[in-house]
Chains A and B, each alone.
Chain A
Amino acid sequence: MTADTQFFWDGVKKHRLLIQRCTACRTLRHPPRPMCPTCHALAWDTVEASGRGTVYSFVIPRHPPLPWFPEPYVVALVELDEGTRLVTNLVGIPHDAVTMGMKVRVRYEHFDDDLVLPMFTPEDAP
Chain B
Amino acid sequence: MSDANLSGRAAIAGIGQTEFSKESGRTELQLACESVLAAVRDAGLEPGDVDGLVTFTMDTSEEMEVARNLGMREVRFFSRVSYGGGASAATIAHAAMAVAAGMADVVVSYRAFNERSGNRFGNMSGRVGVLPLWLSWYAPYGLMTPAAWVALYARPYMERYGVTNADFGRIAVVDRSHAATNPDAWFYERPITLEDHQSSRWIVEPVLRLLDCCQESDGGVAIVVTSAERARDLPQPPAIVTAAAQGATFDGETMTSYYKDDLDGLPEMGVVGRTLWEQSALTPADVSTAFLYDHFTPFVLMQLEELGFCARGEAKDWATIERLSIGGELPINTSGGLLGEAYIHGMNGITEVVRQIRGTAVNQVADVEHALVTAGTGVPTSGLILSKL
Contact = CB atoms under 8 A, between A and B. Distances in A.
Interface of A: 1-2, 5, 30-31, 37, 56-64, 66, 69, 72-73, 75, 77, 84-89, 100, 115, 117, 119
A59 B133 contact: no
Nearest to A58: B155
B259 A87 contact: no
Contacts of A77: 152, 258
Interface of B: 122-123, 133-134, 136-138, 140-145, 147-148, 151-153, 155-156, 159, 201-207, 210, 250-251, 256, 258-259, 263
A58 B136 CA distance: 18
B141 A75 contact: yes
Most buried by B among A59, A75, A100: A59
Contacts of A56: 156, 263
A55 to B, nearest CB: 10
B297 to A, nearest CB: 15
Contacts of B148: 59, 61, 75
A59 B133 CA distance: 22
Most buried by A among B141, B159, B202, B258: B141
26 contacts: A1-B133, A1-B136, A31-B134, A56-B263, A57-B156, A59-B155, A59-B204, A59-B205, A59-B206, A61-B143, A61-B147, A61-B148, A61-B203, A61-B205, A62-B202, A62-B204, A62-B205, A63-B201, A63-B210, A75-B142, A85-B258, A85-B259, A87-B141, A87-B258, A100-B155, A115-B140
Contacts of A58: 152, 155
Query: Closest 6 A-B residue pairs measured CB to CB?
Result: A60-B205, A57-B155, A62-B202, A59-B151, A61-B148, A69-B142
Nearest to B128: A68
Nearest to A72: B205
B258 A59 contact: no
A44 B134 CA distance: 20
A91 B206 CA distance: 18
Contacts of B143: 61, 75, 87
B132 to A, nearest CB: 11
B258 A62 contact: no
A103 to B, nearest CB: 16
B141 A88 contact: yes
A89 B141 CA distance: 6
Nearest to B209: A62
A66 B144 contact: yes
Given A59-B204, A60-B205, A63-B201, A87 B138 contact: yes
Contact of B145 (A57, A61, A100): A61
Nearest to A117: B140
Contacts of B159: 100
A119 B140 CA distance: 11
A30 B258 CA distance: 10
B253 to A, nearest CB: 8
A85 B140 CA distance: 16
